[in-house]
Amino acid sequence: MTASSLEDNLLLECYSDPELRRWTHLANARVWKGLLTLDQYVEREQVLGSSEISQKDKSDETISRFPKSYQWLGQKYFVLKDTSLPDNGKFSQVVSSCETLNRIGYCIHPGSNGKIEPALIVCIGGVFTFENHRGKGYAKSMITKLNEFYDNIRNEAGGVLELKNLLINLYSEVGDYYSPLGYKSMHVPLHHLTKLNEITEYYCQGGSDANGKYLGFDDYEDLVKLHEGQFNKSLMKLHKNNPEKFIFTIAPDIDIFKWFQYRDLFIMKRSGRESQEKLSFGFALSDNSHIIWHHNWNGNSLIIVRIYIPEETIQRKEAKLKQLLSQAIKETQDRGMHALEFWDSEIPVKQYPQLFQLLTELEDDSKLFSDNGSISAVRPPKGYTADKVIWDNNTKFCWF
């Protein structure tokens, strides 16, 4: 069979069948379940798929704001079928599967006349080929067809800005595997801090006594709304310095953080940590500076998802950072975790002289600037090459 005839037999389907979804999740659970059992993993995926960000297309607010594109928001499920295989069972021709989480973002580009426009940001996840079908190029064929699927949506956008500005990204756990398929890696180093007592003593210096409040599950939407102005200001600044480039970011949304929290709580309860009381998801100072974190029970670490400090001098920002990091370290240790992690794009340590100097003295280079096991990659939008694209806020906040 020629390569051309093989491709003719391959069919990408966007589906909503819950039985098929459970079947695909049971298969990839064997690889990705972590601390969970197979059934618990499937249950977790059901919980995440039912979350507000995953069901955005059913939100009245979304339908009102984006009447011509709302149906493409939220989580979408795909399978690749090989129709040349025997059709002797409901899923017998399914060879690969994946999902996308589609969220609203913002962009600014040469054609937007200096204005920020909405964009549909499609994030691919869960790319999986079933064990008995591996080594045949199915995953690459699936992503190629997925690219075409979303290209068609963009090409038929008409005057719908968010669809015209549609862009696809992903997080690769297999290096540059997706490069031949049009995805440019934009790796961000990970900081893995283990000398927490020393950082508290020599850097934070009493910051744990800061006045403020812990963040609950959904009681900080007012703080998330503050990100909007910061994101817009950053986009405009980047555009001023790079007027020829396509610059984009995911839009701030408390539902994104709640997605992390659903994941957090589910694994906590299913992994025997029910005794954890009054779990918090961040801390806010009296001036609204705040930090949002995620308990990585699988990796025994606390991950900083987002940090917000109002624009001030670097000296004043570092003073706030000390207080927020102190709270994150306290949470890490209170939960019996061994490390604090964050992406360099969230806290660029070299911009904070005192922090950087101390970390270089305390932490091994392999931990201070470690390879990120989840490599950000983006497929440039139509008309742009990879070097003409800037991904602002390329941090854990966007991860799927």
Domains and CATH numbers, the chain: 3-188+376-398 (3.40.630.30), 190-372 (3.40.630)
Residue-level pLDDT at 148 = 98
pLDDT at residue 290 greater than cutoff 60: yes
Residue-level pLDDT at 274 = 67
Confidence of residue 5 (pLDDT cuts 50, 70, 90): low
Q: How far apart are CA 282 and CA 235, in angstroms?
A: 26
Residue-level pLDDT at 207 = 61
Q: Note whether 379 and 167 are within 8 A (CB).
A: yes
Residue by residue, DSSP assigns 33-100 as -TTS-HHHHHHHHHHHHTSTTTTGGG-HHHHHH-TTTGGG-EEEEEEEEETTS---STTTTEEEEEEE
Residue-level pLDDT at 8 = 85
The pLDDT tens digits for 28-87 are 999 999 999 999 999 999 999 999 999 999 999 999 999 999 999 999 999 999 999 999
Residue-level pLDDT at 314 = 83
Q: Note whether 352 and 207 are within 8 A (CB).
A: no
CA dist 367 → 133, 165, 340, 354 (Å): 37, 37, 11, 18
Confidence of residue 283 (pLDDT cuts 50, 70, 90): very high
* Residue 329 identity: I
pLDDT at residue 331 greater than cutoff 90: yes
Q: Mean pLDDT score of the chain, rounded to an integer? A: 95
Element (H, E) at 240: helix 221-241
Angle at 395 between CA 26 and CA 243, to 5 degrees: 130
Task: Please name the residues in contact with 362: beta carbons below 8 A apart, sequence gap of 6 or more.
Answer: 195, 198, 199
Residue 198, SS3 per DSSP = helix
Residue 363, SS3 per DSSP = coil
Q: How far apart are CA 352 and CA 191, in angstroms?
A: 14
pLDDT at residue 256 greater than cutoff 90: yes
* Residue 264 identity: D
Quick one: how far is CA 68 from the chain centroid? 25
Residue-level pLDDT at 6 = 67
Q: How far apart are CA 24 and CA 171, in angstroms?
A: 20
* 192-220 average pLDDT score: 90
